[in-house]
Amino acid sequence: MHTSAPRWLERYDRPLIPISVVVRVLLGWLFIYMGVLKLGHPIEFLKQIHQYHMLPVDPPEPMNLIAVTLPWLEILCGIGLVLGIWTRAAAIVVALMLA
């Protein structure tokens, strides 16, 4: 004869907060923090983009566009991860930024 624990006891076997939620929230706060830092020092961020040599220096428009939009994108994705809003979309964008 097989005896098992009551169903109401099964929920106590799981951790209170899944590790994925903790990682998602921490990663979200990291992206919010980094986005705010980049917004606070846009010229320094533009210099860092220039040092990667991934974009052409002439014309400067693509580099300037990235320097203006990337911090806002990081902040929006971070908010999405922290609040759990559009989590998959935010995670995909974050993964593409990290690639």
The whole-angstrom separation of Cα 46 and Cα 66 is 8
Q: Within a 10 A sphere around the Cβ of 78, how many other Cβ atoms?
A: 23
Give the tokens for residue 32.
């919010």
d(CA 64, CA 62): 5
Q: Please, are residues 36 and 72 in contact by the beta-carbon 8 Å criterion?
A: no
pTM: 0.76
Averaged over 34-52, what is the pLDDT?
90
Mean pLDDT, residues 38-65 taken together: 85
**What confidence tens digit (pLDDT) does each residue in 21-33 have?**
899 999 999 999 9
> Of 66, 77, 92, 99, whose CA–CA distance to 27 is shortest?
77
Q: Write out pLDDT tens, residues 52-98.
A: 877 777 887 888 888 899 999 999 999 999 999 888 999 899 899 88
